[in-house]
Amino acid sequence: MADFEYDIGIIGGGAAGLTVASGAAQLGAKTLLIEKEPALGGDCLHYGCVPSKTLIHSARVYHLMKHAERFGLPKVGISAVDFRQIAKRIQRVIAIIQHHDSEERFCGLGAKVLFGNAVFTDEHTIDLEGNRLSAKSWVVATGSSPVAPPIPGLHDTTFLTNREIFSLDHLPKSMVILGGGPIGIEMAQAFNRLGTKVTVVDRADQILGKEDKDMADMVASVMQDEGVTFFLEASIEEVLETNGQKSVKILDSSGERRVLNPEEILVAMGRAPNVNHMGLEDIGVAYDRSGIGVDKRMRTNHKHIYAAGDVNGGFQFTHAAGYEGGIVVSNAIFRLPRKADYTYLPWCTYTDPELASIGMNEKTARSKGLDYAVWTEEFRDNDRSLAEDETTGRIKMILDAKERPLGVQILGPRAGDLLSEWVAILNGKVKLSTLAAAVHPYPTMGEINKRVVGSFFSPKIFSEKVQKGLKFFFQLKGRACSLRED
Ligand SMILES: Cc1cc2nc3c(=O)[nH]c(=O)nc-3n(C[C@H](O)[C@H](O)[C@H](O)COP(=O)(O)OP(=O)(O)OC[C@H]3O[C@@H](n4cnc5c(N)ncnc54)[C@H](O)[C@@H]3O)c2cc1C
């Protein structure tokens, strides 16, 4: 049998690669982790989740300061934002988390970390800056990069992506964001709150295309009230830069041609898998535009080469990458045929209010031709929401024809955190009656989870039929008061 230097080699030190490296090394596998950037952590830490959520929080605090009077507080005189200070704060947060994702920590766990560009020379060997390294199994966990579509003129114009946006040296006066997906929308609200005049352009008839339209429209309406301009169902005809002046020519939904002249353009129009210049074609690993093809065990067409995280074109979230990394460890190290199951993969868009989802929404249920019913509860009926003036939002619980939960969406304050109860309920197959009977602390936003289930059970419990039965068996006397009908 061939003798390889390592049991497992991982290319890419982001969420997926780090999960595999930490799991495999701690289980005693001789593990190699290769990263092309000078530091581990991947997009999430350096250009994604961490900087975006840090920026979003600064923007939220600034927004609350501007609206202090809403809370019965004196009006606050505030200065304009110095973006360099926000960028510094972002770097401070990244630096703290970086310790967790450091070369030393992984060495301590038992994994060898090397930096550079890895290129496959055969199915078990890579070339790393002139050195040949072999492993029994390989994991491609190289993530994804922002896509700049072939819009006329775009490639001759300076534009921003998630790689530049968190380290600007000043706050742009105006910004056109191309793309109304989660990244574009989160940035639109944050920059608008900080003082940038933001315009979002998207060809769809709603923002956050994966979400149910009613929920996405509520997010758009909050943002519109805060000052963001949306051009939906719009096509981008041309992007130009003349003497440093940028212009974006669009055809809006009413057929009118408009020219937008922003200081900056942020392109947030999707992601492409990082598959180039790695020799994947030479060793016959199959991939297409969406990513490297994998089965449910994350195996590529070469069974000992796995692909996990954004690069396989599945769900593009850090927690999905981590989950897939775990699947790889089970298969490659434990030799257990564990398969990925995304039925209850949750996600959240960190607008204010947040929009979180688990399982099917109405859109998915409809596309699958399922018979379903929707139960809702509004945040304006939640006492804590009223106390905190966070009343925009709704929870939607989707049940199938047998009244089993298909999914839950929450638009509301800290919706991502509120969804965690549903993560446990759905994964644990907990009965809805258990949630309805469980005492929740008062006053909390989380009571909305119990209330939506209550609204499902209430008509059954307090029905006329039940009243009649109780009256018959226990001689109850019935109503003591009725509202007079005029
Ligand atoms: C602005 C933004 C905000 C986001 N917010 C969230 C969020 O709030 N929540 C969430 O769950 N997800 C969020 N995401 C998505 C999340 O960042 C990704 O899903 C996650 O980083 C994917 O992890 P990964 O391991 O697949 O890839 P990555 O984290 O990108 O890691 C891939 C690594 O591979 C390295 N690499 C690439 N090519 C090579 C090569 N040839 N050789 C060696 N190394 C290589 C890269 O340098 C990188 O370090 C956000 C993304 C963006 C852009």
CA of 471 to the centre of ligand 1 (A): 63
How far is Cα 269 from Cα 251, in angstroms, rounded to an integer?
Answer: 17
Residue 188 has what pLDDT?
98
How far is Cα 283 from Cα 305, in angstroms, rounded to an integer?
Answer: 11
How far is Cα 137 from Cα 8, in angstroms, rounded to an integer?
Answer: 5
Structure tokens at 275: 């598959």
Please indicate whether residue 321, judged by its CB atom, sits closer than 6 Å to ligand 1. Answer: yes
How far is Cα 32 from Cα 16, in angstroms, rounded to an integer?
Answer: 14
Residue 458 has what pLDDT?
93
Map residue 147 onto helix, strand or coil.
coil
Which residue's alpha carbon is nearest to atom 31 within ligand 1? 14
CA of 15 to the centre of ligand 1 (A): 7
Q: What strand order describes the sheet that includes 257-260?
A: 235-242, 245-251, 257-260
Residue 1 has what pLDDT?
61
Please indicate whether residue 129, judged by its CB atom, sits closer than 6 Å to ligand 1. Answer: no
Residues in the chain with pLDDT < 50? none
111-115 and 31-35 as β-strands: parallel, antiparallel, unpaired? parallel
CB atoms within 10 A of CB 254: 7
Please indicate whether residue 20, judged by its CB atom, sits closer than 6 Å to ligand 1. Answer: no
CA of 135 to the centre of ligand 1 (A): 24
How far is Cα 235 from Cα 15, in angstroms, rounded to an integer?
Answer: 35
**What backbone phi and psi angles, to 5 degrees, belong to 347?**
-155, 165
Please indicate whether residue 42, judged by its CB atom, sits closer than 6 Å to ligand 1. Answer: yes
CA torsion, points 105, 110, 111, 115, in degrees to nearest 10? 60
> Which residues on neighbouring strands pair with residue 137, listed in sequence order?
8
**What backbone phi and psi angles, to 5 degrees, belong to 161?**
-130, -170
Residues 274 and 118 sit within 8 Å (Cβ to Cβ): no
CA of 302 to the centre of ligand 1 (A): 23
Residue 272 has what pLDDT?
97
Residue 485 has what pLDDT?
63
Please indicate whether residue 324, judged by its CB atom, sits closer than 6 Å to ligand 1. Answer: no
